[in-house]
Amino acid sequence: MRASLIQIAVDEGESVAERRQRVAALVREQAGSDLVVLPELWTTGAFAYEEFGPEAEPLEGPTYEVMAKAASDAGVWLHAGSIPERDPDGPLYNTSLVFSPSGELAAAYRKIHRFGFDKGEAVLMGAGRDLVTVRLPGTTLGVATCYDLRFPELFRSLVDAGAETLVIPAGWPERRRAHWTLLAQARAVENQAFVLACGTAGTHAGVPQAGHSIVVDPWGEVLAEAGAGEEVLTVDFDPAKVAATREQFPALKDRMLGLEPPRR
């Protein structure tokens, strides 16, 4: 399976409309990949809090339309990263969109853990409630977003729901880059799953971004890692390695907590 993570530079000199078109062209260039992944909130920037309201879109808004078409033009599964979604009956959400190669919406995931403590995303957006997995030929994706990476129980629940490849779009800052790499590897090792974590480059709202998108295998080995700037990180991986790792080193079968009734 071939995956391409597009680590988009989100800088203030480019309008959202311009960036949408530029990113769609980048997605089209990935024809031949099976799966393309974009970062979190790449239209506005994950830290550009004052842009969330003005740039919020309905689920089937401009980003949806442009990305659905890009997915079908390229013939790829597209995790289109996330948008600030305006729910007509509720608050804003940080919502990820996954499209099939025919451009159909396969899944939408509203980020569960919002970042910012008592400000920013944590107060401007509502919390998602639902786990999301997506069945692809050969693997099942488990979907999470950025700050979710710090909450291992979410990923364990995704594994219980069948996830084998954990896809994590992010807008992770350079200041905490070491956490990003460490947590991506930890989620891969503890869940014996592939991790595809796609961040942003550039600086927005005064926050330099870490870049360093990363692909980790179920044994915790880093298969590919991007640098700091805009980049397409392409990697070939064998989804069968998840089952093989879980069989050869069956630690997931030794879980004692969180399973009812206990296994032993």
Ligand X SMILES: NC(=O)CCC(=O)C(=O)O
The residues that are catalytic are: 40, 111, 146
For residue 132 the two structure tokens come to 């999301």
Q: Per CB under 6 A, does 147 bind ligand X? A: yes
The span of 51-59, 82-90, 144-152, 184-192 binding ligand X (CB under 6 A) equals: 144-152
Judged by CB under 6 A, the residue of 22, 119, 135, 150 near ligand X is 150
| Residues in Cβ contact with 89 at an 8 Å cutoff, skipping those fewer than 6 apart | none
- The 3-state DSSP composition of the chain as helix, strand, coil percent (nearest 5) reads 30, 30, 40
In the bound state with ligand X, the residue whose beta carbon lies nearer, of 39 and 239, is 39
Specify the residue, 147 or 194, whose C-beta has the smaller distance to ligand X. Answer: 147
Identity of the residue, 199 or 218, whose beta carbon is nearer to ligand X in the bound complex? 199
- CB-based contacts of 65, cutoff 8 Å, min separation 6: none
The least CB distance from residue 148 to ligand X, in Å, is 8
Site residues (CB under 6 A) for ligand X, limited to 175-234: 176, 179
Q: Which of 3, 9, 35, 46 binds ligand X (CB under 6 A)?
A: 46
- Contact indicator for 216, 184 with CB cutoff of 8 Å: yes
Identity of the residue, 76 or 167, whose beta carbon is nearer to ligand X in the bound complex: 167
Site string for ligand X, 109-128 (x = CB under 6 A): ------x-------------
Indicate whether 154 belongs to the interface with ligand X (CB under 6 A): no
Which two tokens mark 65? 């339309």
Long-range contacts formed by 152-155: CB under 8 A, 24+ apart: 152/186, 152/187, 152/190, 154/112, 154/113, 155/187, 155/190, 155/191, 155/193
Cis peptide before 208 (omega within 30 of 0): no
What CA–CA distance (Å, rounded) separates 214 from 212? 6
CB of 79 to ligand X, least distance (A): 16
Q: How far is the CB of 183 from ligand X (least distance, A)?
A: 8
42 scored as a contact of ligand X (CB under 6 A):
no
Block residue for tokens 């260039």: 29
Which residues of the shown chain bind ligand X in the complex (CB under 6 A)?
40, 46, 115, 146-147, 150, 171-173, 176, 179
